[in-house]
Amino acid sequence: MTQIINNLLSNAIKFTNPDGQVSMEIKPVSKNELVCKIIDNGIGIPKENIPFIFDKFSKASQNGTAGEKGTGLGMAIVNDLVEKQDGRIEIESEEGVGTTINLFFPILNS
């Protein structure tokens, strides 16, 4: 979980201007599932790139707001880790408006 959250928060910060906002919310969506949302008002992801965002070395990779380059592996790793925990990811994004990454995980009952 630490690697997932670190990667997504790092991406949100990387793609948000210094005067922008990044936030995280965690809440139950049912008695069996919770959602963790990473929300930014950064540069957003072009709609045509969203289907490829989890591909290794994705062509969807873009430079950060300060010109930082990525490896194109971060989101592929995140997706793999989320799936290993029986979770799923949904992406909502609009260029120039920002991105919300929704991570859904089962709540384990003891």
- Mean pLDDT of successive 10-residue segments in the chain (110 residues)? 95 93 97 97 93 77 56 85 97 96 90
Assign 105 to helix, strand or coil.
Answer: strand
Q: Which residues of 71-91 are buried (b: 16+ CB within 10 A; e: fewer)?
A: ebebbbebbebbeeeebebee
> What phi, psi does 41 have (nearest 5°)?
-115, 45
Domain chopping of the chain, boundaries? 2-106
pLDDT at residue 88 in the model: 97
Quick one: 2-106 is in which CATH superfamily?
Histidine kinase-like ATPase, C-terminal domain (3.30.565.10)
Angle at 53 between CA 40 and CA 105, to 5 degrees: 70
Structure tokens at 68: 């930082």
